[in-house]
Structure formats: C-alpha cells, structure tokens
Amino acid sequence: MIEVSGLTRRYGSTLALDDLSFSVGQGEVVGFLGPNGAGKSTTMKILTCSLAPSGGSAKVAGFDVQSDPIAVRRQVGFLPEQVSLYQEQKVRSLLRFVAEIKGIPAGEIEAELDRVIERTGLVEMAERACGHLSHGYRKRVGLAQALLGDPEVLILDEPGSGLDPQQIVEIRELVKSFRGKRTVLLSSHILSEVSEICERVLILDHGKLVGVESTENLSRTAGVPAAGDGHQVQLTWDGDRQAVLKALAKVAGVEELTATDDGAEVLIAGNPVEIRPQLVESVLEAGGRLQNIQDSPRAVSGPSLEDLFLRLTGADRSESGNDSGGGEAEGRDA
C-alpha cells in the first residue's frame, strides 16, 4: 500500500532524506522510528502530498504522490503531530466541514460523524468549541479528522504525544484494531508503545533507513520478555488503594501483585499487550484515577529499547527540538 523508492529531499544544502526506500503492506501497522531530525515528518509530509520530494518516487495505494496527488489524498487519513483547529468552531461542526471537503456524500455525513466521534471518545466534547479543548482532546479531534471517510491508509505522526495514560491506552487499542484492515504508518518516540502497537518497525537516521525489524525480535534483542515469558509492570493511581488492589488481583493473567508506596507492581503471566489494558480498566472501575503505567525496572534484564535505539541510530540523548527532517533548514525553506 505504501511504496517508497530512492526518495530524497533537500532543504537548501541540507539533505533531509537520502535515497530512502521501504514498503508497507496492506493491513500492516508499522512503526516509523528515528531521532529528532531523522526525516520522519518529512517522509510523512511527502506521503500525504503536502511536500514535494527532490528525487525518487513514492506511491500510496498504487497512486503516485507527484503525478496523482488528489487520488493519494482520497486514500489517506493523516494525523500531524501538531493539530491545527479552528478555535471558535465546535467539534462536530468542524468535523462536518472536513467531511464535506473530503467529498463524503451529504446523506452519509451525519452517520459518519457519529461513527468517528464515538470511536475517538469525543461524544461529550462534540458541542464544545475547539479552542476550549485540552491538548489530549485536540489530538482526538485530529484523529477523528483522519478517520473520516474510512481511508485505506492512516499516517499518524506522534499520536500519543501529550496524552495522559488512560488516553494513551485508548488510542493504542484503537490503532491496534486496524491490524489487517487498514495500513498504518505510525511515528513515535515512545518505543515501548510502538512495541505494543506495531508489527514491524522502520528505523531512520540522518534520512537513511538503518534498520527494519519485527517488534517481537526488537523486544527480544532488547531483553524485554515476550508474551508468556513473564512481564512486570508498575502502576500508580489516586484513590482507594485496597479497592484497586483487589480489582487488579482479579485480572486474568496476573500472577503476582505487590503493593508499593504509591501503587503496585504486577507480574503478568501472559501477553502484556492484552493484559495491560485490562489492568487500566480495573483501576478505573475500582474508582481509582490512573497516574502512570510502565515497565518495572526489574522487568528488563538486558538493555532497554531506548538503549537499542540509540545504538542503531547513534543518537545523542541530549538531542532536542522537533523532528522536521531538516531542522532550521526546513523552517527557512517554508
């Protein structure tokens, strides 16, 4: 569904993409990883026809991004990292406007709005002005826009950034539901989230593809236990500690539960991708307010996913700034 061949992009003297080639098959959910400035956002902009390449080619659903950009846009739903919304417009009104632009038949628009609003958890915010939304809900509106028209391909740039733990779990489960149904290319700096959502990862550095790996192999290489090997997570929450602990103990797949000063450590005997959302639901159903869920420091015996990522890309932990694919050069070029 996505075919990139010899793709290059220059911003003045800066080479943001350097002979980049990869493909994403129909129904695949693929992670797109790389340090800041690696070229991820530049690639996504080219695939969504908002930026022209300097060389090479890219096709989405069989349509070329340069010779047939309108056809490409009909096949793609795009969530940018920074979602721009009309501040005074209400959520449902904005989504209706986007649906009209996308060419959804008038008689189908209201049903389509109901579908995406429900799926992205915006029911209670549908009549609220976009300017009064939190960052997390703005992100959801951006995702709802991408889902309008049920596109074949979804390109999601940092869908989990700025979300609270509960929202991250909800978005993760939504993206996972697309497996085998929609083609998804997902950019993220949260490697643990990528390992749970994606089936394969493409690792980019300085505009070049430096690694292609299944997330299962990536996790095993990094020393993270695979499903069934035992996996330990930490949870923290506000609320009735005893009620939440009792609820967690009842979750199928919880082998051991240890209370801590501000939460609990849970040993999972099963697939963490399936069990972690159940842990979150148990906290909420017991009246707790989840603050954090993460791998326990004792759960990983080898190097972390972050350490592996740094080895593959040669990235520096001190790097900062936005992934523009060209740094300041992109800003000048725009």
Tally of domains in the chain: 2
The least confident of 77-81, 91-95, 191-195, 314-318 is: 314-318
pLDDT of 197-252, one tens digit each? 888 889 888 899 888 877 666 555 444 444 445 678 888 888 888 999 999 988 88
Global pTM value: 0.69
pLDDT at 325: 44
pLDDT at 299: 46
Spatial separation of the C-alpha atoms in residues 210 and 324, rounded to whole Å: 18
pLDDT at 329: 42
Q: Which domain holds residue 261?
A: 231-295
* 136 belongs to a structural domain: yes
* Residues 257, 215 within the same domain: no
* pLDDT higher at 307 or 56: 56
* Residues 24, 98 within the same domain: yes
CATH number of the domain enclosing 148: 3.40.50.300
Instruction: Return the structure tokens found at 32.
Output: 């797109």
Residue 326 has pLDDT above 50, yes or no: no
Give the whole-number percent of the chain exceeding pLDDT 90: 46
pLDDT band at 296 (very low <50, low <70, confident <90, very high): low
C-alpha 165: how far from chain center: 14
pLDDT at 63: 96
Mean pLDDT of the chain: 83
* Residues 116, 264 within the same domain: no
* 153 belongs to a structural domain: yes
* 313 belongs to a structural domain: yes
pLDDT band at 6 (very low <50, low <70, confident <90, very high): very high
Residue 318 has pLDDT above 70, yes or no: no
* Residues 54, 155 within the same domain: yes
* Residues 287, 317 within the same domain: no
pLDDT at 268: 79
* 300 belongs to a structural domain: no
pLDDT at 321: 42
- Ramachandran area for residue 30 (φ above 0: left; ψ -120 to 50: alpha; else beta): beta
Give the whole-number percent of the chain exceeding pLDDT 70: 83
CATH number of the domain enclosing 269: 3.30.70.100
pLDDT at 327: 43
Amino acid identity, position 31? G
